[in-house]
Amino acid sequence: MQRPSVLSFCLPPPPGVSPPPLAGPLDPDSLLRQASSLNAFPAVYHNLCAQGVSLDPAWHDRFRHNYVHNMALQQEEARLLAALRRAGLACCAIKGVGLVELLYPDLSWRAIADIDLLARPDQVEPAYFLLKDLALQDAALPWNAASLARQVAQPDYAFAELVLTSPRGALVEMHWDWPGETFPPDNPAGDAEPFLLYLCRHAGKHFWSSLQNLSDLELYLRRAGDQLDWGRFWRLARQHGWERVCTTGFEVCATVFERPLRPGERQKASPAARRLSRCAAGMLLSETRPRWWRSKPLRLLRIYTWRQRLGRGLRWLAPPPWHWNQPGTRSTAGVWLRRYRRLGFQVLARLVPYRRWRINMEKAGDLSGRDWLCLVRALWTLSLVRLAFPLVPFDRLQRWAGTVRGGSAAITSPDPARTAWLVDVAANLHPAPMLCLARSLTLVRLLARRGIATELKLGVRLEKQNLQAHAWVEWQGRPLNDAGRAVPRYAELARP
């Protein structure tokens, strides 16, 4: 492998040793751009500045921004850990700020993307709800007890986590996959063998495409490699099914940083790991990558053993844990039906020839069974209203549509706004053109059948000497089937 200059500048030099001189046709700007794409910008910047290389002011601004961001994450991490410990929860930080302080001269030498919290599996749920009480927000839908339990029960190779964002904009990830026999009380790096296994797994998760992750692994091996209990390390790796990933990570580090494998690192060497390491090292600095690289699931399949691939395939057929935290989830059977209905529409979306159809198929896969029933009723009611216009007096048609079933106006489920959106979808799919009056009468009828009282509003306005009319539906004083931008332009007609 031809060694480019970026690999010579991605590690902090040992104390008293200067970084190697900049050689070759690679100029500092292109070197820093390449380091940025490989997540190794701060270390390369430091090494270039140590040699007195003149850099563009934009690089100095980027370095300062990275340093300030790291210090902000350090303060936020300390705040969250203090709150978790006050609540009596066994949580600690892993990677991130602690890893930088352990392996690098200071916080400015490495970019920190997020805050990684490690919790015991049985304390993930209380820790999650405590973080929500601290004003953290979910990156996706909020988790409930059922979905949390399923997420925590996923195997190690699924790389399960909870992702939140703090009010200050920091990304917070909660993990519970510590590979050691006992949970670390405070500092995970104090238990060297499980911590090294954790670093190997993290690098393999990203297919060794981040030079920053490889630098972390290499620096930790240089720091603790001679004191490691390699027998215990490989026993833990075998127990969790990560022997090949660890061996591949060591091979990639030896190739990238041009050093021989240590005796402990080569204990579980195999032809499969060597092939995987050559693939990873070759693509690390490659400008063109194969198509399978774009898909994270396909990259993970490359690092799995055949047992993990089989288990992953079987779990892919089942609904993922986050399907249990979606609104409207009532039963396990409903979640399974939703999963395969969505998969069916995804398959159809790949088969249709037109992009517009593919988008509609993907959206259709997100509809629940209740949504489909509402959509069918909306199509049928739109047709009835369209046929009734020339045959039935309008006041009678309005009374028919607005008669509330059961006489209750307090029921607010299902969401009236969702029903209004489904009526618009049905009107757009209807073969006959459906104007605002037909849509509004249909919406009033569907909501009245479910016990929700609404008001049909009619308005007019003068535009270029022409009288324009509009109909909309209001519920609790706000428009349902109108964005609100058109309604103020119309003068509402008084009810007789």
Q: Give the tens place of pLDDT for each residue, 88-100.
A: 998 999 988 999 9
Question: How far is Cα 172 from Cα 163, in angstroms, rounded to an integer?
Answer: 6
Question: How far is Cα 92 from Cα 123, in angstroms, rounded to an integer?
Answer: 12
**Interval 144-159 mean pLDDT:** 91
- Note the pLDDT of residue 410: 42
Q: Any idea which of 140-154, 396-410, 423-437 has the lowest mean pLDDT?
A: 396-410
Give residue for tokens 């430091």: 46
Handedness of CA 22, 24, 29, 30 (dihedral sign): negative
Please state the separation of Cα 56 from the chain's center in Å.
34
Alpha carbon separation from 273 to 247, 261, 276, 301, 313 (Å, rounded): 6, 13, 5, 14, 22
Q: Give the tens place of pLDDT for each residue, 114-145.
A: 999 999 999 999 999 999 999 999 998 899 98
Q: Give the tens place of pLDDT for each residue, 223-261.
A: 987 889 999 999 999 999 999 999 999 999 999 998 999
Name the nearest CA neighbour of 77 among 44, 45, 100, 49: 100
Q: Give the tens place of pLDDT for each residue, 267-317.
A: 888 898 999 999 998 888 777 788 888 888 888 999 998 999 999 888 888
High-pLDDT (> 70) share of the chain, %: 92
Q: Give the tens place of pLDDT for each residue, 199-219.
A: 999 999 999 988 999 999 999
Query: How many C-alpha atoms does 417 have within 13 Å on its Cβ side?
Result: 6
Average pLDDT of the residues of the chain: 86
Bridge partners of 425, per DSSP, are none
**Interval 386-409 mean pLDDT:** 80
Q: How many CB atoms lie within 10 A of CB 120?
A: 13
Pairing of strands 171-175, 115-119: parallel
Q: Are the beta carbons of 129 and 144 closer than 8 angstroms?
A: no
Q: Is 37 exposed, middle or buried (0-12, 13-18, 19+ CB in 10 A)?
A: middle
- Note the pLDDT of residue 408: 44
**Cβ neighbours of residue 156 closer than 8 Å, sequence gap 6 or more:** 177, 179, 201, 240, 241, 242
- Note the pLDDT of residue 379: 92
Q: Are the beta carbons of 204 and 245 closer than 8 angstroms?
A: yes
Question: How far is Cα 365 from Cα 123, in angstroms, rounded to an integer?
Answer: 35
Give residue for tokens 């910047």: 45
pTM for the full predicted model: 0.78
Print the SS3 string covering the chain.
CCCCHHHHCCCCCCCCCCCCCCCCCCCHHHHHHHHHHCCCHHHHHHHHHHCCCCCCHHHHHHHHHHHHHHHHHHHHHHHHHHHHHHCCCCEEECCHHHHHHHHCCCHHHCCCCCEEEEECHHHHHHHHHHHHHCCCEECCCCCCHHHHHHHHCCCHHHCCCEEEECCCCCEEEEECCCCCCCCCCCCHHHCHHHHHHHHHHHHHHCCCCCHHHHHHHHHHHHHHHHHCCHHHHHHHHHHHCCHHHHHHHHHHHHHHCCCCCCCCCCCCCCHHHHHHHHHHHHHHCCCCCCHHHHCHHHHHHHHCCHHHHHHHHHHHHCCCHHHHHCCCCCCHHHHHHHHHHHHHHHHHHHHCCCHHHHHHHHHHCCCCHHHHHHHHHHHHHHHHHHHHCCCCCHHHHHHHHHCCHHHCCCCCCCCHHHHHHHHHHHHHHCCCCCCHHHHHHHHHHHHHHCCCCCEEEEEEEEECCEEEEEEEEEECCEECCCCCCCHHHCEECCCC
Name the nearest CA neighbour of 252 among 274, 221, 225: 274
- Note the pLDDT of residue 293: 81
Radius of gyration of the chain (CA): 30
Q: Give the tens place of pLDDT for each residue, 180-195.
A: 999 987 889 889 999 9
Name the nearest CA neighbour of 130 among 96, 73, 160, 88: 88
Handedness of CA 190, 194, 197, 199 (dihedral sign): negative
Q: Give the tens place of pLDDT for each residue, 313-361.
A: 888 888 889 888 876 666 788 888 888 888 888 888 888 887 877 787 8
- Note the pLDDT of residue 308: 92
Question: How far is Cα 264 from Cα 254, in angstroms, rounded to an integer?
Answer: 13
Torsion of CA 216, 220, 225, 228, to 10 degrees: -110
Sheet holding 171-175, edge to edge: 91-93, 115-119, 171-175, 162-165, 137-138
Q: What angle do CA 403, 407, 413 make, to 5 degrees?
A: 95
Q: Are the beta carbons of 140 and 163 closer than 8 angstroms?
A: yes
Q: Give the tens place of pLDDT for each residue, 30-40.
A: 889 888 988 89
